[in-house]
Chain A
């Protein structure tokens, strides 16, 4: 199939599913098709293509273009073949003189309102309108259109009111209404295939146009999720990929598999030469059935991003700069180090991490590297942090970790439980198929703390949304099982036949206990008992029941127990072993399933066989010719523990950024820093590479052959469509390294690696590249018994024999809220970004999601004074050195006291810095989902860092360089300036005031502020902590409850919370917001600076009378305007208010000292020069420098002035004295 495929035939209408067959005659040929098939499709089945425009086989027939007319013997008229179903014995004619004439007439009308610019049209060669004009023999157009939609101006030269300009707002495709024939295919695709309903037809008759929602909406402002279904459906150049417009049509295509989520969509990579023109979802892909999402369809630009590293690099120590070397040198260096480490610290002192983004073959080789070359079992994968509970939970209950169904199964489902997953964002192509089923009437139960997109959307709504408190999944699942058991709703016949009856009775006794009743559990979960009962009854008795779950289940300290609970629920209700039911884990990354299958875990050989089993080891020992260690190896967290202890020293980490993606960043960093050889093998210099000694550049999924295994266990081919930009496919890199370590590996193609997998691993025994070429894909187990794979598991009995019920005791997570950390943080996904964002952040997908968003209940937001769009800061008990990262938004509604965040950008770093070591005892699964947050989630900010010249955050002063001007001579020197640091003052975790302050005596400051503002008495202050952070100082005051409540009330009453008392600014975000860059080109001579200062007193009448007022003045050749006030900020504000902005040709002259807020004001107003009679703070100098502002201070009427930043605006300097 590689490099050559038969073009996808468009059958015009979807296939019918009926088992009843119908025979008819079309153009004299007999054809037998399922009942419900359209005549158009029946004709297509025997190779007769009826001309058509509005029909395509991805959507239901619409019957609007009237081009597909046929004649049927014995029936009147010329029905449309797309909307006319077959019937037994019909005799159909698709082509005769009458039909030809009718079709030509239809085409003439279409073409009369279509620009005839085919040669320069971007769809040239890829346009069905063009094809149909040819097919019907259109030779001339008799009609001269008076009004058209495609001419910008009408014949009189006036603007044509029917013309609409091209919409280029989407980064990936354009919408050109001038080319539109209003066939409605895009609208139908958006509805039926994607289920978003963003597109509609607006207007009637000649006025009808395709529209993105309201009249003023563009593709970007509409609900459009950029899945590409409309672009795919469009027969003309109306909706077209911008890459086609830029490059031209492709000349060949290669079928491959998307490297984003666990759905594993098949795509055609359409190429011109070595250039990827577009990715088009492959109609025969069994996971996606011709659909796609914005990531797979469009976000492939990262593969050619400039950040990609293309040369191997090494360095002696992580403090050294990287050195580019040849592959040979990199291999020799890495191998020598690893061998040295093993010689010095022992065989167990090194290990590997396989990737869930790389292919099966690559994961297999990396774990083989550990087992057969390093001779230990120290291999692990990131699936540790997401899906090992599934392996444990389903393995214990059903006998295999396999998800039970294929995605097609959802078409037979009657009741769906979605728990801990948001497929609309995380697995969008599956979500589209699920939503289609929901629109057909299937019932939906969503168990999620947040009101996610899955709860309600266009034409679907969950029948029950159970908004559990994070960390109580086990409790809610047990409560549902309790209802089913105590109300007798279980499928006893199924349980008796298929499950271990004794285990069931034990479980039934356990689950029937009153403390599992929904009424008792309500206290834990926060979900009304009546809702739980109703949901349980619906699931038990609603027909085919399927459970889909995601990382919200597994990434918890009780992940394994929840998976067991889910399996129990499926067995209780008899929902295993047929279409439309089952337990379906939605895997996160593209090859989580495959990397687990391939023996990435430290206790399991490929095929989930424990290393303690002699016969399993013997299989590999025979093939590999080595002795395999029979003790389990280290898991990722334990590797890091061992590294900190000094017994683990070397790591080969492929395609994985553990520093970003694993919880507890500090611990990961400490472990990595303690190692002597860290090899990172990736596309980009990731965060982990900061601790690496060797960097092997990786190849993208477009540059290698292999296989991915998706969430339905489907093994899909990944095909090389272009040469690896850095020289080697990843499997070759691993092989080079193994050979440098002394291994005799001689694979010349990944198919040989798959052959070895098939040879050693029973569930893959029947898999080969030849078979994948023939069948397209197979679902394991694929062996002698199931030569074409196994779409559905446990059909005639569970893999373990009898299904086993297991007790599921709820244990509260150690992560609980309290007065200091009152919120629970969970993470989530958003559609346009993927995982830690390494790929999607390097594509135009950032237009949908440029930064991370914190979702917080409006009540929680209000009491903290957070508004929509504010920057916020998070902290947990583990992250006192929290970073000032931020998110914005209040758009979903998690229940009060929960906050959610997506984890694709920097917020993730923070989120992962937070947790402790709570893990899943069953699977060593770190708990990422329930983390306590400090309530210092508030109005801050990106606190300003101290000036680099300051010795540290707590330094009160800093010597800074300056140019002194006096007597026409400029002299370089230094001056000690006061430091100014962002200080946030919080009461019991809620920020009360933020200010710029001198970082000294801050405990006194907090105590005094508290007393002087009347917030608390001395006795009510429990403790004051001064916490230094990299970005500012956090002064945390802890008050008794009554006083804390007073502080909150006080804050609410204030129009703006108390600021620094000087400037009235109420948040650090405002206080230290980066000043906009000034570009004004004003030039001043030293003499003019002196004259400006000298002229100032004449503009200070209030000061003359009182000696107590500040003045701000605008200088432009002379003082043009001035304002006075007791406050220096007020004087500036009054001045700015009096002038027309921007003041890019003027200087701001001040009588005061300069702090950062004045620099901000000056820059915002556009002044390129700020002259002040007093000194600046160190932070003000830093900010002025960054903003391009010329900062002149200490300007006296006599004696000259000092320039601290950007002196290029000073001209006519007679001499510069260089002082040694």
Chain B
């Protein structure tokens, strides 16, 4: 992100990427396995299905911009029903 761009001008999916990455950066300071589990359970506990669906859209499209921990935790994240 360029330092002079305004983040809210971007698309909603970008916002989710920022949020997921923020959680990832917090969880990265933990032992790896705990971090992966922590990230997944955080998203399961706090993200409404619409948000998780959009996250999976990003993941399914090749996870552009997501930190590796998010990708790694993806199998543990509950995929919402259609």
Contacts and interface: CB of A to CB of B under 8 A. Distances in A.
Interface of A: 348, 377-378, 506, 510, 557, 560-561, 602-603, 610, 612, 631-635, 638, 641-642, 644-645, 647, 664, 666-667, 807-809, 811, 814, 816, 818, 820-821, 877-878, 915-922, 924
B45 A641 contact: no
A921 B49 contact: no
Contact of B19 (A378, A809, A919): A919
Contacts of B30: 807
B46 A642 contact: no
A807 B29 contact: yes
Given A664-B8, A877-B4, A920 B22 contact: yes
Given A610-B45, A641-B15, A818 B22 contact: no
9 contacts: A561-B26, A632-B45, A638-B50, A807-B29, A809-B28, A809-B29, A916-B6, A920-B22, A921-B21
Contacts of A921: 19-26, 42
A1148 to B, nearest CB: 47
B81 to A, nearest CB: 10
B15 A917 contact: yes
Q: Please list the 4 inter-chain residue pairs (A to B) with the smallest Cβ-Cβ separation, ordered nearest first.
A: A921-B22, A916-B7, A809-B29, A921-B23
B3 interface: yes
Contacts of A612: 44-45
A809 B8 CA distance: 26
B19 A916 contact: no
Contact of B8 (A557, A638, A916): A916
Contacts of B20: 921
B51 interface: yes
Interface of B: 1, 3-9, 12, 15, 18-26, 28-31, 42, 44-51, 80
A641 B19 CA distance: 13
A986 to B, nearest CB: 15
B20 to A, nearest CB: 8
B12 to A, nearest CB: 5
Contacts of B42: 921-922
Contact of A917 (B18, B25, B28, B29): B18
Contacts of B26: 560-561, 809, 811, 921-922
B8 A667 contact: yes
A388 to B, nearest CB: 10
Given A638-B51, A809-B29, A919-B22, 18 more contacts: A557-B22, A631-B49, A631-B80, A634-B50, A634-B51, A635-B46, A638-B48, A644-B12, A645-B12, A809-B25, A811-B22, A820-B4, A917-B8, A917-B15, A921-B20, A921-B24, A922-B42, A924-B19
B50 A647 contact: yes
Contact of A634 (B5, B24, B44, B48): B48
B12 A641 contact: yes
A377 B48 CA distance: 9
Contact of B5 (A644, A645, A877): A877
**Chief secondary structure at chain A's binding surface:** loop
Nearest to A506: B31
Nearest to A919: B19
Given A610-B45, A641-B15, A917-B15, A878 B50 contact: no
Nearest to A666: B8
A1212 B63 CA distance: 81
A922 B38 CA distance: 11
A877 B6 contact: yes
Contacts of B47: 632
Contact of A602 (B12, B19, B48): B48
A809 B51 CA distance: 26
A424 B78 CA distance: 47
A814 B51 contact: no
Contacts of A610: 45
A924 B19 CA distance: 8
Contact of A642 (B4, B31, B50, B80): B50
A348 B50 contact: yes
Contacts of B12: 641, 644-645
A879 to B, nearest CB: 8
Contacts of A916: 6-8
Residue among B4, B7, B15, B44 having the largest count of chain A Cβ atoms under 10 Å: B7
Given A641-B12, A642-B50, A645-B12, A878 B6 contact: yes
A1019 B30 CA distance: 51
A1036 to B, nearest CB: 12
Contacts of A915: 8
B75 to A, nearest CB: 19
B7 A924 contact: no
Contacts of A809: 25-26, 28-29
Contacts of B80: 631
Contacts of B18: 917-919
Nearest to A922: B26
Nearest to A878: B6
A603 B45 contact: yes
B79 to A, nearest CB: 12
Residue among A348, A377, A560, A809 having the largest count of chain B Cβ atoms under 10 Å: A809
B7 to A, nearest CB: 3
Given A641-B12, A811-B25, A922-B23, A631 B48 contact: yes
Contacts of B21: 921
Contacts of B28: 809
Contacts of A348: 48-50
A695 to B, nearest CB: 28
A443 B44 CA distance: 44
A603 B44 CA distance: 10
B70 to A, nearest CB: 11
Residue among B1, B3, B4, B23 having the largest count of chain A Cβ atoms under 10 Å: B3
A642 B22 CA distance: 21
A560 to B, nearest CB: 8
Nearest to B22: A921
Residue among B21, B45, B50 having the largest count of chain A Cβ atoms under 10 Å: B50
A915 B9 CA distance: 11
Contact of A818 (B3, B6, B24): B3
B46 A818 contact: no
Nearest to B48: A634
A765 B28 CA distance: 39
Contacts of A814: 1, 7
A918 B80 CA distance: 26
A991 B25 CA distance: 38
B50 to A, nearest CB: 6
Nearest to A560: B26
A924 B46 CA distance: 9
Nearest to B7: A916
A510 B31 CA distance: 11
A834 B50 CA distance: 36
Nearest to B29: A809
A219 B8 CA distance: 47
Nearest to B28: A809
A510 B29 contact: yes
Contacts of B8: 664, 666-667, 878, 915-917
A377 B47 CA distance: 11
A77 B42 CA distance: 75
Contacts of B46: 603, 632, 635, 924
A664 B1 CA distance: 18
A351 B30 CA distance: 35
A1018 to B, nearest CB: 24
B55 to A, nearest CB: 12
Contacts of A818: 3-4
A353 to B, nearest CB: 15
Contacts of A632: 45-48
A918 B8 CA distance: 9
A653 to B, nearest CB: 18
Contacts of B22: 557, 811, 919-921
A922 B31 CA distance: 17
Contacts of B44: 612
Contacts of A808: 29
Contacts of B25: 809, 811, 921
